Chains A and B, each alone.
Chain A
Amino acid sequence: MKGSFDRFRQIVLSQIPRLLGLGDRDPFSETYGCFDRVFWHYRLIDFPNARFQEACWPLSLLYRHSFEGNLYYQNEKVRQWTEAAIRFWASHRHRDGSLDEAYPNERGFCVTAFSTFAVTEAMLLLQIRVPNLEKTGRWLLGHDQPFVANQMAASAVALLNLYQLTNEKRYLRASQERISTLLSSQDETGFFPEYGGADIGYLSLTLACLAHYWRQTKEGPLWESMGRALKFLEERVEEDGHYDYRQTSRKTQFLYSYGLAISDSPPLERLTQGLEQGTLLNPVWLDDRYFIQLTTDYLETYLLSWESRR
């Protein structure tokens, strides 16, 4: 497995110039730090999709970790762009702390949960603080999406990170409750429901989020639950990382790796085999809207392998 992780590194590094190109890097621009290029550069839409601000997370990881081919390690410009992305996210929240993804005044749970997760990870890594994080915390406390496991998992980690940033125990309690709700919704076969059914791609994303949560809390019941979900994946993911997505509830085609890597599971080997063969869907093939998240996932997996090899 050791050699296979290099493919993750190569794919990640190939995507960073593209990722940076999405961002407004002009410090004198009104939209400095915005990573929704269709908004700040082409001006074809009237509001930015806040999910693009998740670019701050892989940038902060690259800034903090030195590895082969990483031009961005401890580069001051990268740090400035990361901070600008975080501050743009913070300044474009609604008064209630929520954000928009698909339309103005959406105040979406998915975008608020995932972007808060990513931005708080970057804030913790680079010790950056923004004012009034609490309003987003309050919004997340008051909203959930029990039918969509991946979003619930993301919100749980976002709340846990908010607790680390603010020391407010209500966020910790809420994150624990979210995890309990999630575990109680797990099907006996191992999947977490996505709109009432099983979806392999979103299950891998849920596992990736839970893996982040578990790394911080080391909760036993969570680990067992993740094991059951991995077993579900193991029975359905083929030798080259492919699976029959047509039978799944959301018909996603991707496979997130971090949740598989945390336990060095068979599906991880299959995923890496698919990458080596050049046949598996990966960040290079994704559109601008979603490649950032999978790139971050691959980077985290590579760094995890790096840690274990030290």
Chain B
Amino acid sequence: MKATPLMFILFRFYLMSFGKTSFGSRWVKRFLVWRFIWKEKERYVASSKYFTPDELC
């Protein structure tokens, strides 16, 4: 799944919504959000990959 401009906009909005925090915790939160979105993307992209008998052919 390719990243779209809308995704970047939403991501920036998400980061901006954190408000005023200390410098260190702000970057920790940004990393955690990025990592969460990245992992979610992987889960979304991956098909269910269940086995069906047609795979035997």
User: Residues of A with Cβ closer than 8 Å to B?
Assistant: 17-18, 20-21, 23-26, 41-43, 71-72, 75, 77-78
Assess the B43–A20 pair: CB atoms within 8 A.
Answer: no
Contacts of B43 in A (CB 8 A): 42-43
Task: Kindly name the residue among A20, A75, A78 whose own CB sees the greatest number of chain B CB atoms within 10 A.
Answer: A20
Query: Which of A18, A21, A41 contacts B46 (CB under 8 A)?
Result: A41
Besides A20-B55, A42-B43, 4 more A-B contacts (Cβ < 8 Å) are: A23-B51, A43-B43, A77-B55, A78-B56
User: Residues of B with Cβ closer than 8 Å to A?
Assistant: 39, 42-43, 46, 49-53, 55-56
Assess the B51–A71 pair: CB atoms within 8 A.
Answer: no
Assess the B55–A25 pair: CB atoms within 8 A.
Answer: yes
User: Residue on B with the closest CB to A20?
Assistant: B51
Contacts of B42 in A (CB 8 A): 43
A79 CA to B56 CA in the complex, in Å?
Answer: 11
Number of A-B contacts (CB under 8 A): 29
Contacts of A75 in B (CB 8 A): 56
A78 CA to B55 CA in the complex, in Å?
Answer: 10
Query: Which of B39, B46, B49, B53 contacts A17 (CB under 8 A)?
Result: B53
Contacts of A43 in B (CB 8 A): 39, 42-43
Contacts of A72 in B (CB 8 A): 56
User: Residue on B with the closest CB to A40?
Assistant: B49
Assess the B56–A17 pair: CB atoms within 8 A.
Answer: no
Q: How far is the CB of B45 from chain A (nearest CB, A)?
A: 12
A72 CA to B53 CA in the complex, in Å?
Answer: 9
Assess the B51–A77 pair: CB atoms within 8 A.
Answer: no
Contacts of B56 in A (CB 8 A): 71-72, 75, 77-78
Task: Kindly name the residue among B46, B49, B52, B55 whose own CB sees the greatest number of chain A CB atoms within 10 A.
Answer: B49
Contacts of B39 in A (CB 8 A): 43
Contacts of B55 in A (CB 8 A): 20, 25, 77
Assess the B50–A21 pair: CB atoms within 8 A.
Answer: yes
User: Residue on A with the closest CB to B49?
Assistant: A41
A153 CA to B9 CA in the complex, in Å?
Answer: 60
